[in-house]
């Protein structure tokens, strides 16, 4: 079975097969040896790749994995031949790029909303200022687009992942 | 001698103070907010009492409740740690009025050093170099502009009651002066309730070098050498070391003597720190005095062998200093890296949550002053410092290599931390060769820090294996089979067969 794994915009093609009772793990058609053991009951794993050890932590959310290797974080998506095919077939049916929800990366207090409904914003532009741990943090637009509805107001306490506002991506 | 200390703080510093007390046979009383019931300081102290809700304004800053708890628990002294009430002269005075010993400087010294213009005047009188500028707050705008031109742009407007970069404005030319003055004043007013602002020459990317001092109540003042703290983000120190690569023995002696004069000039007692800025021509200027134990005090402890918390307790008990200046020796090299709950790849955004996995480094030359443990919750209510990793080496090269090794070993999963950032600093050529100043982080890590994302392939392999294992256990659960753990290869086949 072939798997397509996207890790921080880089795609890797893996093949897992068993031939004559022998397990094979291929990355881009090249065989490699991997071993992997969970550490207790935590989402922590010890990985040996061609003899080199790594400590890995992973969390899955909405079909993506957030993977920490040693201290570095990666956003990873795993697809197989079938799920990829399915996605290609349904892609046309989905609405265009559509609405992007800007969510709070942490709980805190809304200090200021820096954009108005209908405003055109650029990717990377600061939209909402949230105070947490005695510091102000600017939440930036992930896309170019137009501000739709705004769900929070100044002075409001918010939870992690609370929707702050909508952006109609362009 | 003091025999029972209430610690008006939390986190790693409360733990640090408990450890010092315990080694001296002194009892400790911890106070904790609602969210700190399971925190390390609550569980390590001899006694612990609740003092209110999570926000510090309803717990760690409530002076009445802290003093009442100290009296109720039979404490005879209060240690404020750093932050919270540590530099509040009124609190120091109230503690003493309640008949308790304040483990810190006299209230008047805290107040004097808290007012930046008064401190500057006093330093100048004591022959301690200050940054060129006004010694009085600005009263007349036209006059102030004239002064700014005499000093020469760029100048810095600073709040007299200030600290932490609030009410501070850089003015690079004449036309910007008037509007900048207004913003600085209104910021100072809202942050400190005091709109007095003064002018200083703006030093571009100086180095930040500070001196630790100790003063007893018999008028003996000594310094314990310097700490280099130029590696900062958001005007906050993140890597500190001792000694500084910049200082010659002559400069160290001159600055150390100036630090001692500064402490004497304000009638100082207990442990304190004189911060200096050093410009490109190696001129040094008094910046401010921190009238408390510093976050980065361990690098001094490691190089001098002197336990600063124990010295604080002895001084507060009225015992004379056990060292003369000549007996202080700096040996080897120490570095501290602060581990914050922040995401260095995302502009140091705070990261709260549960620490799911923790495996700190060990081995030769490693010290960790930490307030965390596995399964501890990192709350958004307080400063985001988790831990301080400190290493000692026989020289700077060994210390840098050791710190890099320790940070590579460090495993902390569940939240994001500045560990990869600390590692990137240790691996930076300019850091390794000592070529840096307070502009270092901005210059070297402009495009997000520590983005050495060379493990993306490993992350991909891990995610695939975890994904397959998850699929396998879902099948097992749905089929209600009680198989042992299966290899991802078998399950890969099985999952496919089921579709």
Q: What is the pLDDT of residue B382?
A: 92
Phi/psi-derived region of residue B117, left when phi > 0, alpha when psi is between -120 and 50, beta in every other case: alpha
Q: The domain B4-103 is classified under which CATH number: 3.40.50.620, 3.40.50.20, 3.90.950.20, 3.40.50.2300? A: 3.40.50.20
Average pLDDT over residues B230-247: 94
Q: What DSSP character marks residue B203?
A: P
CA dihedral B179, B184, B190, B193 (to 10 degrees): -120
Whether B471 shows a pLDDT value over 70: the answer reads yes
Whether B454 shows a pLDDT value over 80: the answer reads no
- In chain B, domain spans: 4-103, 132-201, 207-444, 456-498
List the one residue out of B331, B408, B403, B414 whose CA is nearest residue B372: B414
Q: pLDDT tens-digit profile of B365-422?
A: 999 999 999 999 998 899 899 999 999 999 999 999 999 999 999 999 999 999 999 9
Residues of B in contact with A65 (CB under 8 A): 463, 466-467
Q: pLDDT tens-digit profile of A28-87?
A: 999 999 999 999 999 999 999 999 999 999 998 877 999 999 888 899 999 988 888 777
Residue B463 is nearest to which of A42, A49, A78, comparing CB atoms?
Answer: A78
Does B484 lie at the interface with A, CB-CB under 8 angstroms?
no
Contact assignment for B349 to A137 by CB distance below 8 Å: yes
> DSSP per residue over A12-75, as a string?
EEEEEEEETTEEEEEETTEE--EEEEE-TTSSEEEEEETTEEEEEEEEEETTEEEEEETTEEEE
Q: Residue B192 — very low, low, confident or very high, per pLDDT cuts 50/70/90?
A: confident
Average pLDDT over residues B477-496: 61
Residues of A in contact with B352 (CB under 8 A): 106-107, 132-133, 160
Q: What is the pLDDT of residue A90?
A: 66
> DSSP per residue over A87-154, as a string?
HHHHHTTS-SS-EEEEE-SS-EEEEEE---TT-EE-TT-EEEEEEETTEEEEEEPSSSEEEEEE---T
Q: Which of B122, B196, B269, B292 is catalytic?
A: B292
Q: In whole angstroms, what is the distance from residue A47 CA to residue A54 CA?
A: 5
Q: What is the pLDDT of residue A95?
A: 44
Gap from A65 CA to chain B (nearest CA, Å): 7
For residues A41 and A47, is the Cβ–Cβ distance under 8 A? no
Q: What is the pLDDT of residue A131?
A: 83
Q: Residue B496 — very low, low, confident or very high, per pLDDT cuts 50/70/90?
A: low
Average pLDDT over residues A13-19: 90
Tokens encoding B496: 């496919």
Confirm whether B292 is a catalytic residue: yes
Q: Residue A140 — very low, low, confident or very high, per pLDDT cuts 50/70/90?
A: confident
Q: What is the pLDDT of residue A93?
A: 47
Residues of B in contact with A42 (CB under 8 A): 356-357, 413
Residues of A in contact with B410 (CB under 8 A): 71
Q: Of A97-101, A164-168, B389-393, give the lowest mean pLDDT range.
A: A97-101
Average pLDDT over residues B448-469: 81
In DSSP terms, which residues pair with B226 in a beta bridge? B211
Whether B497 shows a pLDDT value over 60: the answer reads no
Q: What is the pLDDT of residue B337?
A: 98
- The strand ranges marked E within B234-322 are 236-242, 270-278, 284-290
Q: What is the pLDDT of residue B427?
A: 95
Average pLDDT over residues B281-301: 96
Q: In whole angstroms, what is the distance from residue B170 CA to residue B416 CA?
A: 33
Whether A132 shows a pLDDT value over 70: the answer reads yes
Whether B358 shows a pLDDT value over 50: the answer reads yes
- Which fold, B132-201? Dna Ligase; domain 1 (3.30.1490)
Question: Which letter, b or e, does each residue of B269-284 get, where b requires 16 or more Cβ atoms within 10 Å of its Cβ?
Answer: bbbbbbbbbbbeeeeb
Number of residues written out for chain B: 499
Q: Residue B184 — very low, low, confident or very high, per pLDDT cuts 50/70/90?
A: confident
Angstrom CA distances, B344 to A72, A146, B391, stand at: 10, 29, 22
Q: What is the pLDDT of residue B309?
A: 98
Burial class of residue B294 in the structure, from the number of CB atoms within 10 Å of its CB (0-12 exposed, 13-18 middle, 19+ buried) = buried
Q: Residue B481 — very low, low, confident or very high, per pLDDT cuts 50/70/90?
A: low
Interface mutation target, options B416, B458, B468, chain A, most CBs of A under 10 Å: B458
Domains of chain A by range and CATH?
2-91 (3.30.700.30), 99-169 (2.40.50.100)
Average pLDDT, chain B: 92
Does B498 lie at the interface with A, CB-CB under 8 angstroms?
no
Interhelix angle B89-97/B63-72, nearest 10 degrees = 30
Average pLDDT over residues B237-258: 97
Size of interface A-B (CB pairs under 8 A): 155
Interhelix angle B308-316/B297-304, nearest 10 degrees = 100
Q: Report the DSSP pairing between strands A99-103 and A64-69.
A: unpaired
Q: What is the pLDDT of residue B380?
A: 87
Residues of B in contact with A73 (CB under 8 A): 343, 345, 416
Q: What is the pLDDT of residue A96?
A: 44
Average pLDDT over residues A13-17: 92
Tokens encoding B172: 């690079």
Residue A78 is nearest to which of B408, B464, B499, comparing CB atoms?
Answer: B464
Q: In whole angstroms, what is the distance from residue B329 CA to residue B135 CA?
A: 36
Interface mutation target, options A11, A72, A132, A142, chain B, most CBs of B under 10 Å: A72
For residues A137 and A162, is the Cβ–Cβ distance under 8 A? no
What lies within 8 Å, CB to CB, of A44 at 6+ separation is A38, A55, A56, A57, B356, B357, B413
Average pLDDT over residues A120-139: 84
- Please report the residues numbered 1 through 60 in chain A whose beta carbons come closer than 8 angstroms to any beta carbon of chain B: 1, 3, 5-8, 10, 12, 14, 16-18, 23, 27, 34, 36, 39, 42-45, 47, 49, 54-58, 60
- Please report the residues numbered 115 through 134 in chain A whose beta carbons come closer than 8 angstroms to any beta carbon of chain B: 132-134
Gap from A124 CA to chain B (nearest CA, Å): 12
Q: In whole angstroms, what is the distance from residue B240 CA to residue B305 CA?
A: 17
CATH code for the domain defined by B207-444: 3.30.470.20
Q: What is the pLDDT of residue A94?
A: 44
Q: What is the pLDDT of residue A97?
A: 57
Average pLDDT over residues B282-294: 96
Q: In whole angstroms, what is the distance from residue B259 CA to residue B254 CA?
A: 9
Q: How many CB atoms lie within 10 A of CB B67?
A: 21
């Amino acid at each position: 079975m072939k798997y397509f794994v996207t890790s921080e915009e880089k795609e890797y093609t893996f093949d897992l097969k068993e031939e004559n009772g022998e397990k094979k793990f291929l990355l881009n058609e090249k065989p490699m040896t991997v071993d992997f053991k969970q550490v207790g009951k935590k989402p922590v794993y010890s990985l040996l790749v061609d003899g080199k050890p790594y400590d890995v932590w992973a969390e899955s959310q909405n079909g993506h994995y957030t993977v920490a290797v040693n201290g570095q974080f990666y956003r990873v998506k795993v697809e197989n031949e079938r799920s990829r095919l399915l996605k290609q077939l349904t892609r046309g049916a989905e609405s265009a790029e559509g609405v992007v929800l800007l969510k709070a990366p942490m709980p805190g207090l809304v200090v200021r909303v820096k954009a108005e409904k209908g405003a055109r914003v650029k990717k990377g532009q600061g939209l909402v200022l949230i105070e947490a741990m005695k510091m102000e943090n600017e939440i930036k637009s992930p896309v170019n687009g137009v501000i739709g509805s705004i769900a929070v107001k100044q002075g409001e306490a918010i939870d992690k992942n609370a929707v702050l506002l909508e952006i109609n991506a362009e | 001698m003091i025999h029972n200390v209430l610690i008006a703080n939390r986190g790693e510093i409360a733990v640090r103070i408990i450890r010092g007390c315990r080694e001296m046979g002194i009892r400790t009383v911890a106070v904790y907010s609602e969210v700190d019931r399971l925190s390390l300081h609550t569980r390590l102290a001899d006694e612990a009492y609740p003092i209110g809700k999570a926000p510090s304004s309803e717990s760690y800053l409530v002076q009445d409740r802290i003093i009442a708890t100290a009296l109720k628990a039979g404490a005879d002294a209060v240690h404020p740690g750093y932050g919270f009430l540590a530099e509040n002269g009124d609190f120091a005075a109230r503690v003493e009025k309640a008949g308790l010993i304040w483990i810190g400087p006299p209230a008047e010294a805290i107040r004097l050093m808290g007012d930046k213009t008064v401190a500057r005047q006093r330093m100048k009188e004591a022959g301690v170099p200050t940054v060129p500028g006004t010694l009085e707050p600005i009263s007349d705008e036209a006059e102030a502009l004239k002064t700014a031109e005499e000093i020469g742009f760029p100048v810095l407007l600073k709040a007299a009651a200030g600290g932490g970069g609030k009410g501070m404005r850089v003015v690079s030319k004449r036309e910007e002066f008037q509007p900048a003055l207004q913003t600085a004043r209104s910021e100072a007013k809202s942050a400190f309730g005091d709109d007095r602002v003064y002018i200083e020459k703006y030093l571009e990317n100086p180095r930040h070098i500070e001196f630790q001092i100790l003063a007893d109540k018999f008028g003996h003042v000594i310094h314990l050498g310097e700490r280099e703290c130029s590696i900062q983000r958001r005007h906050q120190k993140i890597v500190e070391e001792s000694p500084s690569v910049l200082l010659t023995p002559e400069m160290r002696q001159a600055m150390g003597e100036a630090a001692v004069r500064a402490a004497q000039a304000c009638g100082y007692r207990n442990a304190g720190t004189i911060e200096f800025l050093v410009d490109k021509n190696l001129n040094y200027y008094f910046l401010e005095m921190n009238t408390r134990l510093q976050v980065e005090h361990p690098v001094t402890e490691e190089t001098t062998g002197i336990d600063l918390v124990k010295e604080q307790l002895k001084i507060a008990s009225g015992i004379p200093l056990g060292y003369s200046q000549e007996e202080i020796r700096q040996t080897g090299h120490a570095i501290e890296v602060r581990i914050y709950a922040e995401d260095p790849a995302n502009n140091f955004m705070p990261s709260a949550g549960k620490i799911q996995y923790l495996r700190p480094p060990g081995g030769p030359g490693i010290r960790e002053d930490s307030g965390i443990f596995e399964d501890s919750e990192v709350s958004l209510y307080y400063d985001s410092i988790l831990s301080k990793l400190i290493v000692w080496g026989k020289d700077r090269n060994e210390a840098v290599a050791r710190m890099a090794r320790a940070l590579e070993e460090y495993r902390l999963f569940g939240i994001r931390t500045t560990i990869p950032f600390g590692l990137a600093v240790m691996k930076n050529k300019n850091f390794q060769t000592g070529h840096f100043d307070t502009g270092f982080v901005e210059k070297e890590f402009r495009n997000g820090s520590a983005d050495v994302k060379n493990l993306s392939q490993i992350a991909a392999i891990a995610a695939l294996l975890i994904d397959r294992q998850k699929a396998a256990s879902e099948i097992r659960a749905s089929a209600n089979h009680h198989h042992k753990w299966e290899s991802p290869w078998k399950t890969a086949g099985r999952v496919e067969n089921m579709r």
